Amino acid sequence: MLTPDGRLVASSEVVTLGYPDDQGGRHIGEFVHPDDLPVLFEAIQQAREAGAYGRSWRSRVQRADGTWGVFEGTLVDTESDPVLRGAVLRVREVHDDELAAAAGDRTPDEPDGSDRFHSLAEALPLGILSADARGWVVFCNKAAEQILGLPASGLRGRGWERAINREDRLEVVAAAGHVVTLGVDQQVTFRVESGDGPKWAHAKFVPLGGEQRTGWIATIEDITDRRRAESELAHRATHDPLTGLPNRLLLQDRVRQACGRLRRGAEAVSVVFIDLDGFKSINDTYGHRTGDAVLVEVASRLRQVVRAADTVARFAGDEFVVVCESITDDERASLVRRLREVITAPMVVEGVRVTVDASIGVATTHDPGADADELLVLADQQMYREKRARGER
């Protein structure tokens, strides 16, 4: 099921190709071999403007595993259907040895296909770059200009490379080069040089010209929003939503990494386990909103007294953990003293002046074979010994 501009509304065909059945919103052109895009675009255009349905054509379509199959497509008018109401692209896989073997025998800038390719490429929401055998871009559409942040004049030739973040440039240029030298498709994700904050793009390079490989064509997709969403999901999975500190999962990983560095010459790993005393009475007296504000304030204070390389994490409830590497006995004692001072200093939260105390336990190891989980347990046990000695609950 397609929108008027060729985007998928619903599909079962992608399942046949190995893609999950959640491709809604993607343009059908993303699955089609770049050399075969003109005939697809022309069919969509004729159906949209002239109602010319029923025409069939063949094109190469990429499966999820990267291989290509040859499919025959037919646009079917279902406007009168009470359920579908639109256009459906009906496809079936066919055997066309000549088309399947072709790696593309005409570059988009050749006279007999140039005008049609250029006009149809501008309708595609993906960026399109086409390059000659040297890797010099000879064509780019408006979408490519917008994604890469340069005008067409700045992208042609080798100018397109300037749009790529310096740290990613060699990888992207190498991928484009391999398309011509090796004759294989390449995909690469990279950052775009942008003054408007981090911007990400994903490019798919496909060789042109058959065995002679006269160049490549690339589709470029802006994936900034997708990367941002993935980053946010990863952050939520590893950080406490209230305080923003690393959560128990990330803490355990940090301790394991620190212990691993002991095997590579690091001097020591110290785990400081902190449990707030008197926190329950604040919750009982003033409510959980005030209690949450206390936890946020404590987290902020803890971060202020540790080194940039140290980890401060919320272990659970009113328990916090600090992980330090390569710290001397005197520095560790000084750190524990500062931690206790900032925790016990009075604070005003939600308009209420409150104080809390802390029970603190410390475990340190120099052993390259130390177990990270055991180190956390030892620090926790030390904390509870202090809590019992102080008569706290």
Per residue of the chain (393 residues), what is the pLDDT tens digit?
Answer: 777 666 777 666 455 677 776 666 677 777 787 677 777 777 777 776 667 777 788 888 877 776 778 888 888 876 654 444 567 888 888 875 555 554 333 334 443 445 556 666 676 778 999 888 888 888 889 999 999 999 988 898 888 999 999 999 999 999 999 998 888 899 999 999 877 777 999 999 998 876 777 889 999 999 998 888 888 888 889 999 999 999 999 999 999 999 989 888 778 999 999 999 999 999 999 999 999 999 999 999 999 999 999 999 999 999 999 999 988 899 999 999 999 999 999 999 988 899 999 999 999 999 888 899 999 999 999 999 998 887 755
Residues 6 or more apart from 349 whose CB is under 8 A from it? 290, 293, 294, 297
At 104 the pLDDT is: 38
- Measured from the Cβ of residue 167, the count of other Cβ atoms closer than 10 Å reads 9
- The pLDDT value recorded for residue 51 is 72
- Phi, psi for residue 316 in degrees, rounded to 5: -175, 145
Q: Please tell me the distance from the alpha carbon of residue 228 to that of residue 234, in angstroms, as a whole number.
A: 10
What is the pLDDT, as a whole number, of residue 233?
Answer: 87
Nearest of 332, 393, 389, 317 to residue 363 by alpha carbon: 332
pLDDT at 393: 53
Residue 174 one-letter amino acid: A
pLDDT of residue 31: 79
Cβ distance 268 to 370 under 8 Å?
no
| Assigned token pair, 353 | 């002046």
How many C-beta atoms surround the C-beta of residue 263 within 10 A? Answer: 11
Q: Which residues pair with 333 in a beta bridge?
A: none
Model's pTM, two decimal places? 0.53
How far CA 335 is from CA of 254, 303, 360, 387, 390, in Å, comes to 19, 12, 11, 19, 20
Distance CA 294, CA 272 (A): 20
